[in-house]
Amino acid sequence: MATFLYKLGRLAFRRRHFVALIWVALLTLAGVGAASAPPAGSTSFSIPGTEAQKAFDLLEERFPGQSADGATARVVFKAPDGEKMTDAAHRATVEKTVGELADGSEVASVADPYKADAVSKDGTIAYASVRYDVSGMELEESTKDALEDAAQQARDAGLTVEVGGDALQAVPHTGATEIIGIAVAAVVLVITFGSLVAAGLPLLTALIGVGIGVSTITALASALELGSTTSILAMMIGLAVGIDYALFIVSRYRAELAEGREREEAAGRAVGTAGSAVVFAGLTVVIALVGLAVVNIPMLTKMGVAAAGTVAIAVLIALTMIPALLGYAGRKVKPAGEKGKLLGGARAAGKNEGKPAKANLGTRWASFVVRRPVAVLLLGVVGLGAAAVPATSLELGLPDDGSQPTSTTQRRAYDLLSEGFGPGFNGPLMVVTDAKGSDDPQAAFTEVTDEIKGLKGVVAVTPPAPNKTGDTATITVIPDSKPSSVQTEDLVHAIRDAGADVKSATGAEVLVTGSTAMNIDVSQKLNDALVPYLVLVVGLAFLLLIVVFRSILVPLKAALGFLLSVLAALGAVVAVFQWGWLSGLMGVEETGPVMSMMPIFMVGVVFGLAMDYEVFLVTRMREAYVHGESPSQAVVTGFKHGARVVTAAAVIMMAVFAGFIGSSESMVKMIGFGLAIAVFFDAFVVRMAIVPAVLALLGKKAWWLPRWLDRALPNVDVEGEGLRAQGDPDEKRELVRT
């Protein structure tokens, strides 16, 4: 592989105009596609294999024309202190508002609070339910404006009015912190390279790669039903890995220049060596992201595939566009150890002339770890173990309006409904009774209603509402607990257990659905898929790393270190988003259960990123070892050449991920924080401390591989041994001038 990538790097360097033209053309094509594509429509949230989804599909079949997936809104009214919603003036205001809402072209139905018994017992709060023909993402702006205008007119009449539901859902934004993250990355690159031009190359290529990836996602959003969160996550991961992959190749290029190689040769060798590591690191990330398909949740699968596509683009750009841009930069990219004039390179060179080179920080740290491996190993493991303790109280759920910031009208409507009708009113359960196989459907409906009324935790049960053919009915159940509580989850399971008894007695099938039941089923599905997903992703990556490192213990150590990182990161997420530690600093206005898909998504992404640092750092160590250095000295050599770059890459990745903490979307905020803290734990504790300590303790055993397996495995030559064997192809080597 190293030889092929070496030739590719040299070709891209020589044919830089052609390479640059191809990538610019792709960016333009993707941009035009995104601009001309129809707006993203409904993002169907289907969960195959769950009872809630089965009931939802049954509703669409047996109750045609009711727009089961249409947007909903609850317009909540509250009377001023000392007054009631039943007062004549307030009643007239509400009826006028209901009439205005019913005139909307996309409105399917509006329920008058006074006719639908939607006034609280104390008479202070009432609500009007609005159903639309299309989903929240498909609603026209004029429809949303009409909803807000109607609410404002009722406010002007003296009522407190808030709007809940998904009709007013907005496309999430990331805020200014994303720009701050990129700015921090730029500063780190300048410090690392000591050159504005060299620092600009990774940023430029990462932005081009993300531009192509996100524009392609936008262009395909309508056809593939991709949500807005998909493009945000693709941008987050694409930016981080795009900068890092380019950083490693540019760093290796500068190291090759420092050895006196001609620039084209240096570009070829940089792509042949660091590029090989980029390919395998990218493969681990792609495997982890595409592996999310095993969960069998279409939305999660689409997110993983879209992000994996952006990572693949980042790898291709690093292998081709970086050497092309290095050709354009020419002498403006200095050899390693030299800085540009703007950063005082000439003055520093003059001061240090004639003095012996001082060991860098990476060398000094690695030497310390090699001398004290047991102490460093224990400290690292205990520290990560302590950070992981909060994960033992992990509670999972999916966000609803109750997790929104208190500044939003959706959250205020949620609180008003809880105040007037009880916390369970925000998460009603829909029980669907399929009596097609029953001899007496009406008796079956009555039996189901009576069974549910006798369950603990039920506040109200509506009478059965049968369809036109009379073989299916819906029953609405109001719990006495909030949607995300354990008590509500227990009630859902109790109704399903009671439904099994009803089926054996009457032949009618009882199914529970609704957003609350759907969330519970999603959480359970994600929990059940976590272990198979771990086995698949870690197993495939383990095999891949055996090929890369030609060792059994090094990949095993890498996988165990990853588990420590992800558990510690989950502990930090629980501490902030569930317990509320530092919640004000992170902009978390409402604590609660951790998002259900957070553990499995973190496992996938963090594993891929963790293997990035493992590949980049340990390949340098193996390169030194196979060229004759002792195991301990190979660890020091690996840190000498790789620690500064890996540190810069980790800081950049943390800055990019942390930039998404400012998102208005709670899911994006939580993932941004979780990935940032996971990179910190993995890069600075696991890869920088635990890994060298373990390798120092193992010695030569770390690189042991059974002979039969060594013969069976393909030789991918990540270390570039083939390049050393063939020597420089150019007989004349141009000495690099500054």
19-48 pLDDT, tens digit each: 999 999 999 999 898 888 776 555 556 678
pLDDT digits (tens, 9 = 90+) for 106-128: 888 888 888 878 889 899 999 88
Q: Residue 80 has what pLDDT? A: 92
The span from the CA of 418 to the CA of 303, in Å, is 34
Model confidence at 342, pLDDT cuts 50, 70, 90, reads very low
Q: Residue 731 has what pLDDT? A: 40
Side chain identity, residue 277? A
CB atoms closer than 10 angstroms to residue 490? 16
When pLDDT is averaged across residues 264-290 and rounded to a whole number, the result is 86
Give phi and psi for 144, each to the nearest 5: -65, -40
**Cβ atoms 396, 523 nearer than 8 A:** yes
When pLDDT is averaged across residues 94-115 and rounded to a whole number, the result is 86
The span from the CA of 170 to the CA of 136, in Å, is 9
pLDDT digits (tens, 9 = 90+) for 389-402: 999 888 877 767 77
Model confidence at 735, pLDDT cuts 50, 70, 90, reads very low
pLDDT digits (tens, 9 = 90+) for 422-480: 888 888 888 999 988 888 888 888 888 988 988 888 888 888 888 888 888 888 898 98
The span from the CA of 478 to the CA of 499, in Å, is 17
Lowest pLDDT segment from 273-287, 310-324, 417-431, 653-667? 653-667
Burial of 333 (0-12, 13-18, 19+ CB in 10 A): buried
Q: Residue 348 has what pLDDT? A: 44
Name the residue with tokens 């490192």.
549
Beta strands 107-111 and 125-132 are: antiparallel
CB under 8 Å to 539, separation ≥6 — which residues? none
The span from the CA of 601 to the CA of 609, in Å, is 12
**Cβ atoms 697, 377 nearer than 8 A:** yes
Candidate ranges 175-179, 220-224, 642-646; pick with highest mean pLDDT: 642-646
The span from the CA of 293 to the CA of 301, in Å, is 5
When pLDDT is averaged across residues 512-521 and rounded to a whole number, the result is 86
Q: Residue 372 has what pLDDT? A: 92
Between 636 and 40, the more confident residue is 636
Q: Residue 357 has what pLDDT? A: 55
Beta strands 472-479 and 465-466 are: antiparallel
When pLDDT is averaged across residues 271-291 and rounded to a whole number, the result is 85
User: In whole numbers, what is the pLDDT of the chain averaged over residues?
Assistant: 83
**Cβ atoms 335, 258 nearer than 8 A:** yes
CB under 8 Å to 422, separation ≥6 — which residues? 459, 478, 480
Lowest pLDDT segment from 446-460, 476-490, 695-709, 722-736? 722-736
**Cβ atoms 136, 44 nearer than 8 A:** no
pLDDT digits (tens, 9 = 90+) for 528-577: 888 888 888 778 878 888 887 888 888 888 888 888 998 999 999 999 88
The span from the CA of 342 to the CA of 333, in Å, is 13
The span from the CA of 311 to the CA of 283, in Å, is 9
Give the SS3 label for residue 261: coil
Q: Residue 386 has what pLDDT? A: 94
Model confidence at 176, pLDDT cuts 50, 70, 90, reads low
Q: Residue 376 above 60 pLDDT?
A: yes
% of the chain with per-residue pLDDT over 70: 89
Q: Residue 736 has what pLDDT? A: 42
Name the residue with tokens 């702006």.
141
Burial of 13 (0-12, 13-18, 19+ CB in 10 A): buried
- Helices 598-626, 553-573: axis angle to 10 degrees equals 150
Measured CA angle at 378 (ends 692, 683), to 5 deg: 45
The b/e string for 113-128 (b: 16+ C-beta within 10 A; e otherwise) is: bbeeebbbeeebbbbb
For residue 167, what is the DSSP state? T
Model confidence at 347, pLDDT cuts 50, 70, 90, reads very low
The span from the CA of 31 to the CA of 686, in Å, is 40
% of the chain with per-residue pLDDT over 90: 19
Q: Residue 481 above 70 pLDDT?
A: yes
Q: Residue 346 above 50 pLDDT?
A: no
CB atoms closer than 10 angstroms to residue 386? 11
Q: What are the residue ranges of helices labelled H in 157-292?
A: 177-193, 196-224, 228-258, 263-290
The sign of the torsion formed by the CA atoms of 596, 597, 603, 606 equals negative
Name the residue with tokens 């000591």.
194
The span from the CA of 663 to the CA of 483, in Å, is 24
Rama region for 260: left / alpha / beta (φ>0; ψ in -120 to 50; rest): left
Q: Residue 737 above 50 pLDDT?
A: no
Give the SS3 label for residue 436: coil
Nearest to 485 by CA among 407, 413, 415, 398: 398
Model confidence at 14, pLDDT cuts 50, 70, 90, reads very high
When pLDDT is averaged across residues 647-676 and rounded to a whole number, the result is 82
Lowest pLDDT segment from 129-138, 278-287, 482-491? 129-138
CB under 8 Å to 723, separation ≥6 — which residues? 2, 3, 6, 269, 272, 273
Give phi and psi for 69, each to the nearest 5: -100, 15
Between 558 and 354, the more confident residue is 558
When pLDDT is averaged across residues 705-725 and rounded to a whole number, the result is 73
Between 264 and 140, the more confident residue is 264
**Cβ atoms 458, 498 nearer than 8 A:** no
Structure tokens that stand for 112 in this block: 């008058």
Beta strands 509-513 and 160-165 are: unpaired
CB under 8 Å to 676, separation ≥6 — which residues? 653, 654, 657, 658, 661
Model confidence at 720, pLDDT cuts 50, 70, 90, reads low
